[in-house]
Amino acid sequence: MTRKLTIPFAASAIACGVALILAACGNGSSISAPPLPTDPDARADARAAALVAQLTTAEKIQLVHGVGIPNAGLGGPYPAGVNGAGYIPGVARLGIPGLAMADSAGGVNVVNSNATALPAPVALAASWDPTLANEYGARIATELRVLGYGEGLGGGVNLAREPRNGRTFEYMGEDPVLTGTLSAARTIGTQAQNVIATIKHYAMNDQETNRMTSNSVVDERTMRETELLAFELGVTQGTPGNVMCSYNFVNGVYACENPYLLTTVLKNEWGFKGVVQSDWTATHSTVASALAGLDEEEPGDIGGGPSIPGLTLTSYFNTALTSAVNAGSVPMARLNDMVQRKLRTMIRYGVFDSPPTPGGTVDQTAGNALALQVAQQSSVLLKNAVASGDSQPVLPLNAAGLSSIVVIGAHADVGVLSGGGSGAVPAAAGNAVSGCVSPSPLLSTCATWYKSAPLTAIRAKAPNASVTFVDGTNATAAAAAAAKADVAIVFATQWESEGSDLPSLSLPSNTTDSNNQSYDQNALISAVAAQAKRVIVVLENGSPVLMPWLGNVHGVLEAWYPGVQGGQAIADLLFGDVNPSGKLPITFPMRDADLPQPSISATDTTVTYGEGLFMGYRWYDGKQIAPLFPFGYGLSYTSYSYSGLNAQMDASGNVTVTFTVKNTGSRAGAEIAEVYAALPSGLGEPPKRLVGWQKVALQAGQSQQVSVSIAPKLLSTWDATNHVWKLNGGVYQMIAGASSRDPNALTASVTLTGH
């Protein structure tokens, strides 16, 4: 029976103006529910709760699992035009729309959609630019929505604990603060366009080898100070609607049925109000998962869809969950909570009231413009030396002074490389070139190039020079061509994909990646370097690359997987129309043997995080191993100086670090000024950690004061006894510089009181 409230006329009128779930509005005196709150979070909660109260158990169950994989033709039925990774049907009688979701690491992964392939997320991270990350998230969301998807499955934030991880290109490097900050900015951009953002894969899913069976063994303090900190910042600052739990076990418990990760930390401590969604087939139980905090099973129940030989997909959240709820082993309150989370997320992020419909057209002009901008801002100039007999560094190239350029290798005559797996972005119509040398039966094991040929863009920059192309398959021929040219530009690639790890960080060869590579890239570069007057290497890759030839080349430009405008961006950077400003979000080691995990075992499924807190640059710093290029490193065509460092605690308990950056060269540029903290000794911490940065655009000769405010958490350690962040009293060194190993970095100390 509905209890009627009698309220005065004025309040009733207001209630009728704002509430969607009121009964009896207009009768002047009575309603069946209080007015909805105006705060958007509280309002979404209230609207969702009202819907949950009206759903049958069967309808609730329908909302907590998917119905297969549209793009694989598994399960269904799906609405016409839905072709992504998953779909949850709605409940029409209550106006609850269906929700289509698609992968979206660096663009929408839906074939024939003409979605924009932006540079890979690792490239975005190299921009260190939260504003760009926001635009990246917004662009992808705009395209998701136009194509009919209300949820994007991009947003990988796993840290590069193991840089040979085949998904390194989908993530944002090795630092939790850089990754978490950019993740939050991306999420905010996505959700502002009324698309639910996902961050994934929660957690400690840091390699692909045995990804579905491996057990990440890692102590609590290490987790909290490394990868979980990236998630913490991403969740608390970005408030994504969706967190995808991962395939692996964490300390012996599947991530998707891990109460510590899903409930203790994510929901209770971080206050996550959205949906915990399993990675595709990462649900392994009904009761344990539901009670641990899993809210949605994907791909869910494929029902009567076509079967794939050898693949059985068990659904745990359809009939099995119904039985568990009926039996009381999963309380109805827990099922209600799952549905509440789903509906409040759909309401809060705009896909409930304005559900996207398939069939729209992607604005490729807008997409290409952002793709170009991100590629220009994310490439990293790693080396720029003066060739013998010259007075200037080899870059930027001066078209007027060059009569011959030879471009060598890596299909630079047709396009730029992209990464594989669910993080791939299918090329727009007519824009793909397969790099397969020996096509494997599974298309996903083949590299794809987008038709954005560096050769074409280089020719356009140097119209009066003879610009030739040599494919690189014959190192002797390439070296001979290089010997005759003013400058040789060698392109080199490293293809990686979800589902497997790289055997080495060495550039792949015809031996180590025979599917995609028909020659030995290191041998090619060395042969060319031995003959060329000037030689520049351009890298297209997702993970760090070893460079045994580094001492023999003059320039190295790291372009990552540069997206659909990559060829143009590379030429803009090589010729100085754009001044490089990216910096490495990941350490480039000298050799594989310098990595914390010497090799990735194919057979031992226990992945022990034995390096503890010493992950990424913290490992090289702590072990005093010289990297090839340190975290945070990147050159420019101008130069910068840092001065006047000051660090002090402000009234709110933040430490504010100020200093001045000056452009001391002759070109405009943008400098990423980095701030690290060395914690008091005796805490077992690595020598330093990134705590903030600012990217400053400076004209030649211009100075700007930089001010970086550092929250106490970023200076804290995790107290694994009391399970809290702890700010330790003592002297902190605040270090401001151009990289994590800047010999000219400034240091100031600040004494903090512990709490």
Cβ atoms of residues 97 and 355 within 8 Å: yes
For ligand BGC, which residue of 96, 99, 153, 256 counts as binding (CB under 6 A)? 153
- Residue closer to ligand BGC, measured from CB, 103 or 611: 103
Distance separating alpha carbons of residues 372 and 213, to the nearest angstrom: 39
Q: What's the CA gap between 148 and 279, in Å, rounded?
A: 21
Whether 110 and 102 have beta carbons less than 8 Å apart is answered as: yes
Nearest approach, Cβ of residue 498 and ligand BGC (Å):
6
Site string for ligand BGC, 155-194 (x = CB under 6 A): ----------------------------------------
- In the complex with ligand BGC, which residue's Cβ is closer, 299 or 356? 299
Residue 651, number of CB atoms within 10 A of its CB? 5
Minimum Å gap between C-beta 279 and ligand BGC is: 5
* Catalytically annotated residue among 279, 295, 513, 572: 279
Q: Output the smallest distance, CB 528 to ligand BGC, in A.
A: 38
- Judged by CB, which is closer to ligand BGC: 172, or 291? 172
39 is a catalytic site residue = no
Peptide bond into 176 cis (omega under 30): no
Give exposure, 230-256, as e/b (b: 16+ Cβ within 10 Å).
bbbbbbeebbbbbbbbbbbbbbeebbb
Of positions 135, 279, 296, 674, contacts ligand BGC by CB under 6 A: 279
Q: In whole angstroms, how close is the CB of 416 to ligand BGC at the nearest point? A: 23
Query: Which helix or strand (DSSP H or E) is residue 60 part of?
Result: helix 57-62
Q: How many residues does the chain have?
A: 755
Please report how close the Cβ of residue 311 comes to ligand BGC at its closest, in angstroms: 13
CB 195 within 8 A of CB 149: yes
Q: Are 569 and 376 in contact (CB under 8 A)?
A: yes
- Closest approach of ligand BGC to the CB of residue 68, in Å: 12
Binding residues with ligand BGC: total (CB under 6 A): 7
Q: Which of 128, 149, 280, 617 binds ligand BGC (CB under 6 A)?
A: 280
- Residue ranges in 720-749 that form contacts with ligand BGC under rule CB under 6 A: none
Identify the CA nearest to 520 among candidates 528, 509, 529: 509
Dihedral angle over CA of 140, 174, 715, 639, nearest 10: -90
Least Cα distance to 227 among 239, 242, 216, 241 occurs for 216
377 binds ligand BGC (CB under 6 A): no
Nearer to ligand BGC, 153 or 584 (CB): 153
CB-side neighbour CA atoms (13 Å) of 209: 17
Output the CA angle 684-688-692, nearest 5 degrees: 130
User: To the nearest whole angstrom, how small is the minimum distance from the Cβ of residue 44 to ligand BGC?
Assistant: 24
Of 113 and 694, nearer to ligand BGC (C-beta) is 113
Distance CA 20, CA 43 (A): 10
Cβ–Cβ under 8 Å, residues 617 and 587? yes
Complex with ligand BGC: residue 35 or 241, whichever CB lies closer: 241
Q: Which two tokens stand for residue 266?
A: 């994510």
Identify which of residues 85 and 416 has a Cβ nearer to ligand BGC in the complex.
85
Nearer to ligand BGC, 234 or 634 (CB): 234
Question: How many helices (H) does the chain have, and how many strands (E)?
Answer: 18, 32
Structural tokens at position 420: 């594989």
Residue 103 in contact with ligand BGC, rule: CB under 6 A: yes
- Shortest separation between residue 35's beta carbon and ligand BGC, angstroms: 39
* Residue whose CB is less far from ligand BGC, 280 or 732: 280
Residues 548-607 within binding reach of ligand BGC (CB under 6 A): none
Give the footprint of ligand BGC on residues 77-96 (CB under 6 A): 85
Query: From CA 63, how far away is CA 101, in angstroms rounded?
Result: 14
What kind and span of H or E run contains 480? helix 475-484
Minimum Å gap between C-beta 202 and ligand BGC is 11
- Smallest gap from Cβ 212 to ligand BGC, in A, equals 9
Q: Which residues contact 457 (CB under 8 A, 6 or more apart)?
A: 567, 568, 570, 571, 572
Fill in the amino acid letter for 50: A
Q: Any idea which residue has 């072709």 for tokens? A: 83
Using CA atoms, how far residue 64 sits from 77, 132, 318, 699, in Å, is 16, 34, 8, 54
Is the separation of the CB atoms in 166 and 181 below 8 Å? no
Closer CB to ligand BGC, 200 or 583, in the complex: 200
Q: Which of residues 187-206 bind ligand BGC (CB under 6 A)?
A: 200
Shortest reach from residue 318's CB to ligand BGC, in Å:
19
Least CB distance to ligand BGC at residue 461 (A): 38
Measured from the CB atom, the residue of 121 and 596 that comes closer to ligand BGC is 121
In the complex with ligand BGC, the residue whose CB is nearer, 103 or 572, is 103
Q: Which of 82, 68, 21, 35 is nearest to 343 (CA)?
A: 21
Calculate helix-pair angle for 176-191, 130-147, nearest 10 degrees: 40
DSSP string, 327-381: HTSS-HHHHHHHHHHHHHHHHHTTTTTS---S-----HHHHHHHHHHHHHHH-EE
231 binds ligand BGC (CB under 6 A): no
Angle, CA 326 vertex, CA 322 and CA 327 arms, to 5°: 115
* Beta-strand relationship, 249-250 and 242-245: unpaired
Of 423, 405, 434, 539, nearest to 85 (Cα)?
423
422 counts as binding ligand BGC under rule CB under 6 A: yes
Residue 690, C-beta contacts closer than 8 angstroms, at least 6 positions apart: 175, 177, 178, 631, 632, 674, 675, 676, 740
Q: Which CB atom, from 103 or from 594, has the smaller least distance to ligand BGC?
A: 103
Considering the complex, what minimum distance in angstroms separates the CB of residue 301 from ligand BGC? 16
Residues lying near ligand BGC in the complex (CB under 6 A) are found at: 85, 103, 153, 200, 279-280, 422
Catalytic residue ranges: 279
